[in-house]
Structures are given as C-alpha cells and as structure tokens.
Structure 1
C-alpha cells in the first residue's frame, strides 16, 4: 500500500523527485545562451498563466494586492537567481551560461518553500478569505515574475558581455 507524502500519492512524489533530479543535473552543465531567444520563456509562461487564471468576478482589492505582491516577489527572486548565473563569452561571439551552485541551491530552496507554502495556504485559505484557486493563481503570477525578471537580467548581462567582446 502506498503512503501519501505531502498529501500526494507516493508515485507522484517519486516522479517529481526524479524530474527535479534531472533538472538539477541539466542546470549544472554549461550551455549556450542565446539572448535573442530569452523572450520566449517569459512569453510562454505569461500565455499559459493568462489561460489558466480563471477570474471569479471582479477582483477584490485584497486579491489584487496579493497578486501584485506575488508578481513582485517572483521578479525579485528571478533577478536574484539570474545574478547567480555565470555568463561568459565563448568562441565567435557566443555566450555560455551556467547556474552557480549557490543559484542552484536557491532554486531548490524555492521549490521546497513553494511546496510548504502551498500546503499551509491550502489549509488556511478560508481563514485568509481566498480560495485555493486564487492561491494557485498567485503562485502562477510568481512564476511569471521569476521567469520574466530572470530573462531580462540575463539578456542585459549577455548584451553587455557581447559589447565588451566586440
């Protein structure tokens, strides 16, 4: 019999752990950075978020504040993680990026914090006067802020490096 972990079936937890391990291994390798394509990640995340957010009538002022705070926290985290990404000039005007060990630890801590916060907020949603859907929407907006700020910061740094190399 499978015991639930964090309210999820064991197979789902094991799948998530395997996926996270794969992402950690991938981010530890240096890979090419293409500044011209950095807009794609934020655009995809924003598009998916806009499709996923389901308004339940006009937003309440508290909800607008929560969404704005989520977006701001995500942007701050994205900038911080991007600032811990090593970017160097490669051969023939190319760029190479690699997430530093500190940045990798920050990403893992963020994933763990999100899991913990999701549980706490889901249990206390009624007391906070928000629905679980609105909590999920706030986390989606945090992802939009994170991916967007990370992309902008890496684009600015990459552009600076390419100008210096030229």
Structure 2
C-alpha cells in the first residue's frame, strides 16, 4: 500500500462511521421516550416512497435478472418492515385516547444491522468480490426500502387502530 493513500482511505471510512455514530446517538436518546403517533398520517411516507420508486423504476427500469433481485429485496423489506413495526411500542391513553409510540432498542439495532450488511456488501464488491451494477444495486435498495417503510407503517397503523378501538370500548 502506498503511504500517500493511507490517510485518504482512513478518512473515507471514518467519516461515514462518525456520521452513523452521531445519528445513532441522537436516536438512542429518544429510545423509550413516548412520542405522539398520528395514525392518520402513517400513509404519507409510504406514499412518497412509492412515488420515488415509481419515478426511479420508470427512468431506469431493472433489466433481466435484476427484476428478480428487486422482488427478493421487496419481500425481504416486507418481512423486516413487519418485524420493525412490531418492535415499536404503541400505547393508548385510556382517558384521552391519545396514541403514543416508543421506539424499541431492538428496532434501532435492526437498522444498525442493515447498515452493517450494506457496508459489508459494498466492501465485498470493492475488494475483489463480484462486480455489481450500480443501477441494479440502487433498484434493489429502493425495492427493499419500499417494502420496509410501507409494511412497518401498515403494521403500526393496524395495531394502533386495534388498540384505540379496545380503549374506546372500555
């Protein structure tokens, strides 16, 4: 290794790690803290992401086997989104019927795990692993994120609605 390249390699890895560490520190501070949950607004993020995914897939549609990878990523996103949604603690105040949510540490660890897997995949491709097409990787990640975000919010909406109905019945 050329010593002239060592600092740039170190900085290239240190900056993303520092950014992720800062973001995770802020997110960890809010773990366990109740935040209001507006179930009527849970559709907004999935709707926006459906628009983003549609525009992206129309501009550069996956080719050949990339469609299969996108479907597999969507299925994985759906499964992990349902799990992440289940990990969110949802509570209904019995008197006011106000709904709140608390992010569980497990849900945050799931996101951290996904970041690690993504970094490992990128490093594998960079250091002699199989060559990956950038557009295919982008399409796969968009499909995965769509499944994760939409399903997480769907599960939270279904559960919050069920809990609210139970609280109103009392």
Give the TM interval when normalised to the shorter protein.
Answer: 0.7 to 0.9
Q: In structure 2, what is the Cα distance between the partners aligned to 1:14 and 1:102?
A: 21
Structure 1 residue matching 2:36: 3-state secondary structure: strand
2:81 is the counterpart of 1:83: no
> Is there any run of 5+ residues in structure 1 with no aligned partner, and where?
none
Q: In structure 1, what is the Cα distance between the partners aligned to 2:7 and 2:135?
A: 27
Q: In structure 1, what is the Cα distance between the partners aligned to 2:17 and 2:111?
A: 18
2:76 is the counterpart of 1:73: yes
Structure 2 residue matching 1:92: 3-state secondary structure: coil
Any idea what the Cα deviations from partners look like across 1:96-145, whole Å, max 9, x if unmatched?
Answer: 1112222222222222222222333465453xxx5122112201210110
> Is there any run of 5+ residues in structure 2 with no aligned partner, and where?
1-5
Any idea what the Cα deviations from partners look like across 1:15-46, whole Å, max 9, x if unmatched?
Answer: 33212322332344221111100001111222
Q: In structure 1, what is the Cα distance between the partners aligned to 2:13 and 2:109?
A: 26
2:60 is the counterpart of 1:55: yes
2:129 is the counterpart of 1:111: no
CA contact (8 A) 1:77 1:146 kept: yes
CA contact (8 A) 2:31 2:105 kept: no
Q: Following superposition, which runs of at least 4 residues in structure 1 exceed 4 angstroms of deviation?
A: none
Q: What is the TM-score when the length of structure 2 is the normalising length?
A: 0.81
In the alignment, which of 4, 11, 22 is matched to residue 9 of structure 2?
4
CA contact (8 A) 1:93 1:162 kept: yes
2:142 is the counterpart of 1:137: no
Instruction: State the structure with more CA Rg.
Output: 2
Q: In structure 2, what is the Cα distance between the partners aligned to 1:9 and 1:49?
A: 29
Q: CA RMSD in A?
A: 2.4
In the alignment, which of 139, 142, 158 is matched to residue 156 of structure 1?
158
